[in-house]
Structure 1
């Protein structure tokens, strides 16, 4: 939200009261309290009739500093609030006549005691950012609404990333961003997943700890500052020191939560009925039979909306006209080795039997006059479950328990964005603060019941809406997009941006959602989709089975589905890292190469895990340009090498795309290509790429439950390549390098290769 008319003046009817100095500073137990008048105090009379801001400085964990500013303390709502870790680490506090300072780890905040106001954040003797000169304050707009505001300096060349799932350019500079969940597709400034957290290439991140609407002006009102504001009388933000982008994400997710590890089977191919298509058990069976007959490995079958009766979403009851024997159908699908996912949402249509049941029990969200909140969007007379009520959560979960007991394995938790504010919540939560937060308690309710019935390691969602903390409840997908190359690029940008907010696992509708994709779009999207953390074929009004496009689509889907299955030892290792450290599986290039300025703006390529560079082909003719960082990279699909740094332009067939292995990587590949969940250590191959003389790499091959199954150490000395199994079962394994190959017997713990050509 913009408040100024240019740089010097406020907009008509807007009044701003900004901190002028740290007039009074008190050192408390592990914190500093600053009283900051909004006008200069030159005599005692200036202390009368004017706002004074209270600024509290503290640290919830090392290298993180919390700033909380309050105007009217009695007007601050207390719910809902994000769960933020607070370890109360040891800090250093110094107060003298000139300044007050608080240090946590390597991060220090300094507040100047005299005018003008200046609060500076630094680490390692280097300033990161500062609040100075009409930055921190309280603002009233022409409608007499009260906002708290802060502006932090942007240095020359400083770039901003994050703020949730955003489909425009990856770098946020020059953008206005409202943190407000909306069902807006992938082609606008709206987003399903809004996260008030950003990080910059200057070694720090900023988390605005406010669950409601936060407006960011990223160099868009004052071009040398990031401004953020929220309606109300308090504003809390946390400065998170890196220095690397990966370090910032590790600390941010340590504060707000890291992803649960999804089950290994969820990384296989998901096939959907699609949205408005006609289908019944015969249709489902024909799809499953068609995939099997064409040797297309399938892991999950998803039933979208019309598994339930029309007008009654959600009543959690199978439509008896098209699914007369749901228990039998589920049993038959399970006998074929498939998992089953069902579409749900938090709405209750008026025609559903559950409407009266929920209304009578008080489980539905109400208006201030006590009536049930309803409208006719989506489902006629729909109501909304009030997840702030424990009884309502248990009621909703009970409906899901019955489906899980029937044989369902996962839920697609659609919607959760269009949440009204003219309502009263059961727990008294502020409706504006609840708008985004609703997505968290909705998805948490579903994830909890899955973990309860299936076990924590088996719980997986396919969720569309999210906010801070939502990363704990994977998986998320990118929402409704067109079936075009442009929409494919939009989806990728959204996923990379979301990953920079700590979301480790992300997917999208292969082929796009709206419309029927051209075969070229479908085939290019297949390659991209199978080189994403999760892979789903889904559409709106048309089926997404590949043989409906052309026979080449079948071949392309087979090749990339099997490739992903073989890569699962490596990919699941990256998934374990995402759960342990908060680093996304699909990583923006800047995240891995922060010192390479050529990577700063790249948003059409990414790293899948730490060592695979993927550049999706966004054209029918196969033309693609991508950037290669320094070193000798190896093309995974044909073994050719590519030397960076530099840009490359290539043409690829539908069965190919730029897929490069990082220099020095050891990629663990599995012995099976027919499913994603198998014993990764049994018959594993360690492929060594451009490992430097004297270098050593440790490779952990995970089990399907995420625990270490086998650990190997690979090293090179001159023309000798050594690999040793440090632990793990006595299973056969292979070491491979540039065509040289040896296979170990089951009892062998050491392999040595003589390289024929020195690198």
Structure 2
């Protein structure tokens, strides 16, 4: 926690804050404004001496976006693009775009910055006016902070860097305003009242520490704040000042982007214009991933017994994953299969590939001292070093391990060369584990980067290096990683999974909160360890978690010290049925899921999204954290109890149960009991989705346009287009349909606008209290 004050009037112990008080110089350039602000009122010329100043700049580098920069000792160049209009009066300095304005008050002793929006009000605003204040940097809101620093001139000249220094911005929060995001966070979904440090840690999922820290938050008032800093950022969200979000960085300058929506989806789209959109994962990756788990045996007999067992039970597996011990003990990473378990790794992998399985192997960015690669890496300077030039080593994971220095282009290529060897053996994807345990003390990078700024950013370079190698070797539309650590921009290299939860219902719920918070930061595709990682799930938890996992973006069975195949967890055989039911359900939903995934790739809006992303005008949706929307049309409410009791919220309208055929009418909270083969999976009012042909939907990849079922919820009038993706051509459409209807029991029409729907296909219409159905073959227009 970084708290600089004790209440409103006093500073924390051994703390000095130089607040921006009075603008003494202001200028309006072509597309930016700038003010030099003193930290005390200037009564006469003598007050200009021995007075620190803060320079504040504002520009608009992108539409609907402001860049706000404050600095003490060193400036930071602002983006100067055409578009915004600036002007200056005797009392204000203004930058205005078509949707936003920033107004700096330049009257004596009254420095502040007002941020206003124009056009559409925020979804949760009670104001009907098209102009409203989004937020404000008001009294004592921009400051330079010193702790443990002696300001006496003589001592300062001897040790000018003594103590700690920060820049801080403190943004006002309106009444009822809520804050979300800040990366993968497992605590309360609404961040108000929390102290948050964006510093990657290997902390599991049951604490304030997290693997994926992103200095971006979204406000229910219609804007987002992105702090442009790769290092540690401190957020006090109504936890220091109860009317503010206090942001602090341990540097001499602070830059934030304020992104206007006003809708949550628009905020995410504009944020990902700045930081990047996720690549589109290959369609096969949406199938089921299976591993023998962390410390269990990986020999061919064991692997085959599990894959054959899943096949016998008609539970299709798309990817088999080898975790850490595919390499020899004490030698991670040497990127060589342990010959004691894999006497002929190339042939073993080929046998799996010939059966249609994709192969994933675990890696990390560390090279153990016993690895054959250690001496080579040390000799050529491929590792992070200490100031004396020696290799930075420690024992906390692998004995004497070093860390690959990805700022060194030669090290980057060297690391990729070893991954390339594995791809040539048949490896399709790498689980890029770790990347959080990155040193900051006595640390030197090849390119001279600051160790503090590299701590989080290291994960970006690590995953980028791996992802780009796979793109080069396998093709642009076949590359993906399975990553644990990340920071801002890391969404460009999917897929990410939620780390190491316990095997409990509570951990299942915190996992969902973490995934939704991460998704709000532009991470489009996400997975988790079904059943939890630590411990062994009991049969009930395993079956409930699998229903949730199958209806997630990506689905993986994995654990720590226990096998995770269903017949081991639940000898009764019921888990076999549950897994088969939900794997086949996901496969049938692939025409819808993959189309939604393509849309995520183009917009950045996550495949799994909180309810308020789709229903921002519904106040209740902003408080829901135990359910989610899977794409724009399907509501999923995981069951967090062995007994099957579940309470969930449905927004306005009649929602159709895809599994049970029942209708839930909202807005309302619904309480139900579900068996293990059921979960609330509801089709949105006025929505239509395409489900694949049950006969051919045996895997995640099949012809999505052959023998489809168009499922329509016509409880309200409908007019929508559906894109049927081409499973063989990433991002392309096999057909486009238009669904129109008058609502409820009225006539519904499906028209094929482009492409073709093959074979016999059907339309099922839920509305008017009954399900109506019609079959067609080769027709371009169908009505029921």
When the two structures are superposed, what TM-score results if normalisation uses the length of structure 2?
0.93
For 1:88-99, what aligned pairs fall within 5 Å after superposition? 88-99=81-92
Q: Is 1:516 aligned with 2:536? A: yes
Offset, 1:265: 0.2
Aligned residue-pair number: 743
Offset, 1:598: 1.1
Runs of 4+ more than 3 Å apart: none
When the two structures are superposed, what TM-score results if normalisation uses the length of structure 1?
0.96
Conserved? CA contact 2:288–2:556, under 8 Å: yes
After alignment, is 699-708 or 386-395 more displaced?
699-708
Match of 1:655 among 663, 667, 677: 677
Offset, 1:296: 0.5
For residues 165 and 318 of structure 1, what CA distance do their matches in structure 2 show?
33
For 1:20-169, what aligned pairs fall within 5 Å after superposition? 20-73=21-74, 88-114=81-107, 115-124=109-118, 125-142=131-148, 144-169=163-188
Residue in structure 2 matched with residue 716 of structure 1 by the alignment: 741
After alignment, is 447-456 or 90-99 more displaced?
90-99
Match of 1:277 among 290, 293, 296: 296
Offset, 1:729: 3.1
Deviations 1:116-140 (A, max 9, x none): 1110100022000000111101000
Offset, 1:692: 2.7
For 1:660-679, what aligned pairs fall within 5 Å after superposition? 660-671=682-693, 672-679=696-703
* Change beyond 3 A, Cα 1:87–1:117: closer
Residue in structure 2 matched with residue 486 of structure 1 by the alignment: 506
Residue in structure 2 matched with residue 745 of structure 1 by the alignment: 777
Residue in structure 1 matched with residue 754 of structure 2 by the alignment: 727
Q: Is 1:689 aligned with 2:709? A: no
Offset, 1:88: 2.2
For 1:419-498, what aligned pairs fall within 5 Å after superposition? 419-422=438-441, 423-498=443-518
Match of 1:234 among 241, 248, 253: 253
RMSD: 1.3
After alignment, is 98-107 or 10-19 more displaced?
98-107
Residue in structure 1 matched with residue 599 of structure 2 by the alignment: 577
Conserved? CA contact 2:30–2:85, under 8 Å: no
Q: Is 1:560 aligned with 2:588? A: no
Offset, 1:588: 0.9
Q: What is the SS of the residue equivalent to 1:624?
A: strand
After alignment, is 99-108 or 415-424 more displaced?
99-108
For residues 617 and 736 of structure 1, what CA distance do their matches in structure 2 show?
27
Residue in structure 1 matched with residue 127 of structure 2 by the alignment: none
Q: What is the SS of the residue equivalent to 2:477?
A: helix
Conserved? CA contact 1:563–1:673, under 8 Å: no
For residues 153 and 450 of structure 1, what CA distance do their matches in structure 2 show?
45
Offset, 1:89: 4.0
Conserved? CA contact 2:645–2:673, under 8 Å: yes
After alignment, is 22-31 or 274-283 more displaced?
22-31
For residues 192 and 580 of structure 1, what CA distance do their matches in structure 2 show?
25
Q: What is the SS of the residue equivalent to 1:449?
A: helix
Offset, 1:744: 2.3
Conserved? CA contact 1:172–1:218, under 8 Å: yes
Residue in structure 2 matched with residue 756 of structure 1 by the alignment: none
Match of 1:622 among 637, 644, 666: 644
Residue in structure 1 matched with residue 657 of structure 2 by the alignment: 635
Offset, 1:68: 0.9
Structure 1: give runs of 5+ residues left out of the alignment: 79-83, 754-759
Conserved? CA contact 1:70–1:235, under 8 Å: yes
After alignment, is 702-711 or 438-447 more displaced?
702-711
Conserved? CA contact 2:102–2:116, under 8 Å: yes
For residues 474 and 47 of structure 1, what CA distance do their matches in structure 2 show?
53
For residues 87 and 743 of structure 1, what CA distance do their matches in structure 2 show?
59
For residues 188 and 208 of structure 1, what CA distance do their matches in structure 2 show?
23
Structure 2: give runs of 5+ residues left out of the alignment: 119-130, 150-162
Q: What is the SS of the residue equivalent to 1:744?
A: strand
Q: What is the SS of the residue equivalent to 1:646?
A: strand
Offset, 1:349: 0.5
Offset, 1:55: 1.1
For 1:120-269, what aligned pairs fall within 5 Å after superposition? 120-124=114-118, 125-142=131-148, 144-269=163-288
After alignment, is 59-68 or 138-147 more displaced?
138-147
Deviations 1:413-445 (A, max 9, x none): 000001001210000101000000000000000
Q: What is the SS of the residue equivalent to 2:774?
A: strand
Residue in structure 2 matched with residue 81 of structure 1 by the alignment: none
Q: What is the SS of the residue equivalent to 1:190?
A: coil
Match of 1:402 among 421, 424, 428: 421
Match of 1:325 among 344, 358, 364: 344
For residues 418 and 717 of structure 1, what CA distance do their matches in structure 2 show?
57
For residues 104 and 333 of structure 1, what CA distance do their matches in structure 2 show?
58
For residues 592 and 578 of structure 1, what CA distance do their matches in structure 2 show?
14
For residues 615 and 169 of structure 1, what CA distance do their matches in structure 2 show?
18
Deviations 1:392-429 (A, max 9, x none): 00000000001001111000000000100121000010
* Change beyond 3 A, Cα 1:517–1:130: same
Conserved? CA contact 2:692–2:705, under 8 Å: yes
